[in-house]
Structures are given as C-alpha cells and as structure tokens.
C-alpha cells in the first residue's frame, strides 16, 4: 500500500482524527476505492477485485444492503446475509471503509424523513459498519453525516459525507414510479419527455429540502477547514441533468447552494452512487477547470438502459467500482471506474490545487 498506512487510515476512520506524525513522512499516492448498490441476495465477487486494487480505504456510497423494510428483524437479516459472504469478509478484513447510506439501506425505495424506522435503521447501520459506541453519527440530529481528514498538511484529503435521507421532504413525483421503472427495465426510455423519469424538478426552490438547516451549517463549516483535496461523498448524483430519477437535480436550490459553496475551487471531487451504472460527469466553469463527478454503481446492480444526463462525459453499464488515485507530486487525481474483473472501463485524469 502506498501513502498512508492501513492502520492509520483505520484509526482515522475510527477517531475522525488526523493520522499521527509518522504519516507526515509518507510519500506516494493515496488510493480511495468507492462503490454502491450491493444486493445481499446476489453473489458479490467484485469485493475480491476491490481488494486486489489495494485501496487505502473504501467509501461505500449507499445501498450497502437492500433492506427495504420497516421491520427490525428483516433489516438485521439483510445485514446478516451480507456479513456471511466470504468475499465480503475478505474485503472487510483488508480495507478500512467509510460508509454512508442511500435509500435501500436507510430503509425503503427513495425514502426520506418520513420513513418510520430511522432510529432503529441508524443503530443497525452504525453497528454493522463498526461505528464506535460514542460516535455522534449514532445520535446527532440530521442522521449519519460525517467528515474526516486524512494526511499531513500539504497532503490532506477531506472526505465529506452528507446524509441525504434523514431530513428529506417528499419529492415531487409525477407518480407511477414502479410503472416507469418496469418500462425502463424493459429497455424503454422516454426521449419525448422533458424529464425522462418519474421525478419533476421543483420550480419553487423553497418547496422541498434535502439536508435541513443543521446539516447545511455543518457542511458549510467543513469547507472552512483546511484541506488539500476535498472529496464529497454523496449517495445521490450531484451534477446529473435530465435523468428524472432521484438526484440533487430535484432539489435545485440545494444543488445551487452546494455548487456555490464549491465555487471555483480546484480542489473538489464529487463521488456518487445510486444509479446502477458507472459514469463520469463534468460541469464547465468559466475561467476555471470543470468540476468533476465520478459515479460508481452498482457493485451488483445494473440498469437496463442509460438515462439521459446532459453533463455526462462517459458511462459504463456493467457491475463496477471506482478508484481515485491521488498523485500528490503531480497534483493530479486519476478517476477510474473498473469492472468486476478490475479492468478499467472509464478513466479521467484531473488536476487539482
């Protein structure tokens, strides 16, 4: 492993603290794996491909299990099924993991603040992913959002992981989610519609919220902390435009607020999951380089068709995981989306700083 020691990354994850001074001497690249959407009822050979990449840490971007229940015992059974997989056990033994949830591990398809079992779900999530007993993620208002900074000054990577579920208002659905999903899975998309999926972007920016006030204050405070590279770990896609499925796009005021917070910073990379295909998106910014987003989804799930996305630069439809390789000496991040065999399917080299 290059860069930070595995033990120090694990320690950083547990304590949300900077690694010790020995890491100040560390050199070389930092490797951050990421992925989402692992259905526990399927075989998951991709974990061995992830381990083979020797990442310093892995960010689980949500849908780590498909619990889809408001029954505690059924949720426990979903986690148990994942925990029993030898390939997942090998991964857990080898790679420190920072996990957030999306809808299916939170508890229900596209669920928000009105999901009835969220405290129990939070307890099971934190227990499963090894969150310490005194972690604020277990009790704080606003859910399981978290942030951590790894590495010494000059090589600090800040990971910022908001909770997009806990406080979220109901979305503006045109209805017929399952009907439309079934048609999607049959290979039909909706090129004749302005919005290709069931969700309408809300014209009134104050109509719905996703993060809530306290989490926004937390997020903005994270941007005031020193970092050499910020990685925003979002369960939902931030940049995608026109998909019509769940994304920050359905919350235009909050998407604009996040993009405004990022501004023209050259040190921010967006990661996301959820959509069941791998994708790289770029938002052009006048006078500065583009803002890049890498989406990896799913570890087991594959969508039948590729929805539109005006900001897409590349996509891969197959089981996949992502890898960020941070090259400090070149001030460059290599974004890769790799298939189940570890073969790179999408790649983009992005300068930062």
Residue 336 touching Fe ion (CB under 5 A): no
Residue 37 touching Fe ion (CB under 5 A): yes
CB of 171 to Fe ion, least distance (A): 16
User: Position of tokens 């925990």?
Assistant: 83
Q: Tell which positions 42-71 bind Fe ion, by CB under 5 A.
A: 63
Do 304 and 187 form a contact (C-beta atoms < 8 A)? yes
* Contacts of 318 by beta carbon, 8 Å cutoff, 6+ apart: 278, 302, 339, 340, 345
Q: Which is nearer to Fe ion, 201 or 296 (CB)?
A: 296
d(CA 43, CA 21): 41
Q: Which is nearer to Fe ion, 58 or 216 (CB)?
A: 58
Range in contact with Fe ion (rule: CB under 5 A) among 34-42, 115-123, 138-146, 277-285: 34-42
Q: Which is nearer to Fe ion, 18 or 37 (CB)?
A: 37
CB of 211 to Fe ion, least distance (A): 20
Range in contact with Fe ion (rule: CB under 5 A) among 32-40, 137-145, 210-218, 246-254: 32-40
Do 111 and 102 form a contact (C-beta atoms < 8 A)? no
Distance between first and last Cα of the chain? 24
CB of 105 to Fe ion, least distance (A): 9
CB of 273 to Fe ion, least distance (A): 7
CB of 108 to Fe ion, least distance (A): 12
CB of 333 to Fe ion, least distance (A): 25
153 exposure class (CB count in 10 Å sphere: 0-12, 13-18, 19+): exposed
Structure tokens at 326: 């941070």
Site string for Fe ion, 300-319 (x = CB under 5 A): --------------------
CB of 39 to Fe ion, least distance (A): 8
Q: Which is nearer to Fe ion, 109 or 139 (CB)?
A: 109
Site string for Fe ion, 125-164 (x = CB under 5 A): ----------------------------------------
Q: Tell me the site size for Fe ion, rule CB under 5 A.
A: 2
- In 3D space, the residue among 291, 255, 293 whose CA is nearest the CA of residue 273 turns out to be 293
Q: Which is nearer to Fe ion, 149 or 300 (CB)?
A: 300
Q: Which is nearer to Fe ion, 251 or 277 (CB)?
A: 277
Q: Which is nearer to Fe ion, 63 or 249 (CB)?
A: 63
CB of 301 to Fe ion, least distance (A): 5
Q: Tell which positions 61-120 bind Fe ion, by CB under 5 A.
A: 63
Do 235 and 255 form a contact (C-beta atoms < 8 A)? no
**Beta-sheet strand order (sheet of 312-316):** 146-150, 157-161, 229-234, 268-272, 288-295, 278-285, 312-316
CB of 298 to Fe ion, least distance (A): 6
User: Position of tokens 């001074």?
Assistant: 21
Do 235 and 273 form a contact (C-beta atoms < 8 A)? yes
Q: Which is nearer to Fe ion, 124 or 325 (CB)?
A: 124
d(CA 210, CA 235): 12
Range in contact with Fe ion (rule: CB under 5 A) among 29-37, 146-154, 232-240, 243-251: 29-37
The SS3 of residue 266 is: coil
Structure tokens at 288: 């500065």
Query: Residue 193 has what DSSP assignment?
Result: S
Most distant CA pair in the chain, distance: 58
Q: Which is nearer to Fe ion, 23 or 63 (CB)?
A: 63
d(CA 76, CA 169): 26
d(CA 111, CA 227): 33
Residues that bind Fe ion (CB under 5 A): 37, 63
């Amino acid at each position: 492993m290059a860069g930070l020691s595995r033990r120090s990354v694990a320690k950083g994850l547990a304590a949300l603290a900077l690694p010790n001074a020995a890491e100040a001497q560390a050199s070389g690249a930092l490797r951050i794996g990421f992925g989402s959407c692992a259905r526990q009822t399927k075989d998951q050979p991709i974990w061995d491909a992830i381990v083979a990449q020797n990442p310093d840490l892995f960010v689980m971007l949500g849908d780590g299990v498909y619990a889809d229940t408001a029954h505690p015992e059924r949720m426990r059974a979903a986690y148990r099924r994942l925990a029993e997989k030898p390939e997942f056990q090998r991964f857990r033994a080898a790679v420190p993991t920072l996990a957030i949830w999306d809808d299916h591990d939170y508890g229900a398809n596209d669920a928000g603040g009105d999901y009835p079992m969220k405290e129990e779900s939070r307890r099971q999530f934190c227990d499963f992913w090894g969150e310490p007993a005194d972690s604020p993620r277990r009790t704080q208002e606003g859910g399981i959002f978290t942030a951590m900074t790894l590495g010494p000054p000059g090589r600090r990577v800040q990971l910022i992981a908001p909770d997009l579920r806990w406080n979220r208002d109901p979305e503006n659905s045109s209805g017929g989610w399952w009907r439309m999903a079934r048609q999607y899975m049959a290979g039909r998309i909706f090129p004749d519609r302005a919005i290709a999926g069931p969700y309408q972007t809300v014209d009134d920016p104050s109509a719905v919220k996703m993060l809530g006030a306290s989490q926004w204050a937390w997020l903005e405070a994270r941007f005031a902390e020193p970092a050499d590279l910020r990685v925003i770990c979002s369960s939902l896609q931030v940049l995608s435009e026109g998909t019509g499925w769940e994304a920050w796009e359905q919350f235009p005021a909050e998407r604009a607020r996040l993009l405004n917070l990022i501004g023209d910073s050259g040190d921010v990379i967006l990661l996301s999951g959820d959509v069941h295909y791998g994708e790289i998106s770029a938002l052009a910014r006048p006078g500065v380089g583009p803002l890049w987003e890498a989406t990896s989804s799913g570890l087991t799930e594959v969508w039948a068709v590729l929805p539109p996305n005006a900001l897409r630069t590349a996509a891969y439809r197959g089981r996949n995981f992502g890898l960020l390789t941070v090259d400090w000496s070149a001030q460059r991040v290599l974004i890769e989306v790799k298939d189940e065999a570890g073969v790179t399917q999408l790649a983009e080299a992005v300068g930062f700083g």
